[in-house]
Amino acid sequence: MKSSFKGLAAALALALGGVSGAAAQTDAERLDHGKGLVETNCARCHAVGATDESPLADAPAFRTLSERYPVDALEEAFAEGIVTGHPDMPEFEATPQQIADIIAYLASIQPH
């Protein structure tokens, strides 16, 4: 799953003209990073992809979060610990960069 997404991201980066050693992260790299973070930290309960079902029925699929929140508001929710304080959730301390990448990934899977 992870490696096939990496392949896709690499293919996308190529299709978009390559990364050519630029210092700034490309969008594809940021999304890849954000997806990796949620796969590692969230996917055992939440659906983190575009079509999968949450392994834990109570945990909302991430692609439905925009039905409850503007995705931008999640950044604040992370910062205030709303998101990181829910039941059974493992301690997850994210750096601002990690949060930004997770938000970018979450935004990318919202249906609208």
Could you say whether residue 83 binds ligand HEC (CB under 6 A)? yes
The number of C-alpha atoms within 13 Å of 39 and in the hemisphere containing its C-beta is: 15
Stretch that binds ligand HEC, among 4-12, 14-22, 23-31, 35-43 (CB under 6 A): 35-43
In whole angstroms, how close is the CB of 13 to ligand HEC at the nearest point?
25
Burial of 31 (0-12, 13-18, 19+ CB in 10 A): buried
In whole angstroms, how close is the CB of 107 to ligand HEC at the nearest point?
13
Query: What's the residue count for the chain?
Result: 112
Could you say whether residue 90 binds ligand HEC (CB under 6 A)? yes
Could you say whether residue 66 binds ligand HEC (CB under 6 A)? no
Could you say whether residue 58 binds ligand HEC (CB under 6 A)? yes
Could you say whether residue 42 binds ligand HEC (CB under 6 A)? yes
Which residues, 6+ apart, have CB-to-CB distance to 67 below 8 Å? none
